[in-house]
Amino acid sequence: MAVMNTKTLIKLCDKCYWNPLTQTLSEENQILVLTSSMTKLLEILIDHHDKPVSSVDIFFHVWDDYEKEFNPKNVRNLISNLRKRIPCLSINNYYGGRYVLKKYRDNIPDITDYVLEILDQAKNGITISDPNLPDNPVIFVNEAFSELFGYTPEEVIGRNCRFLHGEDRDQIALKEIQSAISEKRDITATLRNYSKSGELIFNELTISPIFDKKTEKLKYYLGVQKNVTAIQKLIQQIKRML
Ligand SMILES: Cc1cc2nc3c(=O)[nH]c(=O)nc-3n(C[C@H](O)[C@H](O)[C@H](O)COP(=O)(O)O)c2cc1C
């Protein structure tokens, strides 16, 4: 029986280990047989674990002597075959054909019952919107959001977040946000927003699309609202002094 040297092995999921020296995958002490393209795919994902790898890089790594032009479909099919072969492996995909192998974390506690409380304890505003509903309405806001803008969750849920900038629509950042949302990609931009009482708030907003891992469909948008009013006012004061 082969003795496993666990020091050289990388844990990929509950049962699977990758041996970087022999470039083999083992499951409960048995070597898992993968096709050569799957092995190459795993190799590049492991080399970049926790970081996105583009479809193009994967394509040329796997099919290095490929005569044909780059085709993202080949990569997608290979990823889905690998997922079927090793279902416990966590490969996330991002819009634009980028894939990330999430490094296995041991002993993740089950925080499901506390997720809402954890989000409410966050110091920045957190919003979740549903782009599959008409006009991408907010479906969740945390306490920090309500404190920052003075609106209760009931006053916000069901509305598109644009009411926060109201009539102040002549903002370059808004165009950047529109493009990012229509292209389903991340964006960070600073907006002029207004609280319920009409106070100006500079909001450093980060929006991230959340995709379903398996179907690759867009499920939600996550918005994080950071109050940067103090620093923005200081910058404006300095500009006036120059
Ligand atoms: C999750 C999420 C959070 C958002 N948070 C804000 C916000 O805090 N303030 C704001 O002015 N716009 C926010 N927006 C942007 C607006 O909802 C909207 O996308 C933006 O005004 C551009 O679209 P429009 O031209 O259709 O208004 C958020 C969008 C999303 C998806």
Mean pLDDT, to the nearest integer, of 24-47?
89
Which residue minimizes the CA distance to atom 16 of ligand 1? 162
Beta carbons of 124 and 206 less than 8 angstroms apart: no
- Model pLDDT, residue 45: 93
21 to 4, 28, 171, 202: CA distances (angstroms): 12, 18, 54, 52
Q: What is the pLDDT of residues 9-20, one digit of tens each?
A: 888 887 888 888
Q: Which atom of ligand 1 is nearest to the CA of 160?
A: 17
Centre of ligand 1 from the C-alpha of residue 161, in Å: 5
pLDDT digit string (tens) for 41-53? 999 999 998 888 9
* List of domains in the chain: 10-101 (1.10.10.10), 112-241 (3.30.450.20)
CB-based contacts of 207, cutoff 8 Å, min separation 6:
177, 180, 181, 186, 187, 188, 221, 222, 223
Q: Is the CB of 35 under 6 A from ligand 1?
A: no
Q: In angstroms, what is the span from residue 136 Cα to ligand 1's centroid? A: 9
**pLDDT tens column, 74-130:** 898 999 899 888 888 888 887 667 899 987 777 778 888 999 999 999 999 999 999
Protein residue closest via CA to atom 30 of ligand 1: 223
| β-bridge mates for residue 193, sequence order | 201
**Which of the two residues, 150 and 34, has the higher pLDDT score?**
150
Tens digit of each residue's pLDDT (9 = 90 or more) over 194-208: 999 999 999 999 999
CB 128 within 8 A of CB 153: no
Q: Which atom of ligand 1 is nearest to the CA of 136?
A: 31
Mean pLDDT of the chain: 89
Going by alpha carbons, the residue nearest to atom 6 of ligand 1 is 161
What percent of the chain shows pLDDT beyond 90?
A: 57
- Closest alpha carbon to 138 in 19, 81, 221: 221
What is d(CA 184, CA 221) in angstroms, rounded to the nearest whole number? 9
- β-partners of residue 101 are 91
pLDDT one-digit tens code per residue, 141-196: 999 999 999 999 999 999 999 999 999 999 999 999 999 999 888 899 999 999 99
Q: How far does the centroid of ligand 1 lie from the alpha carbon of residue 119, in Å?
A: 20
User: pTM above the 0.85 mark?
Assistant: no
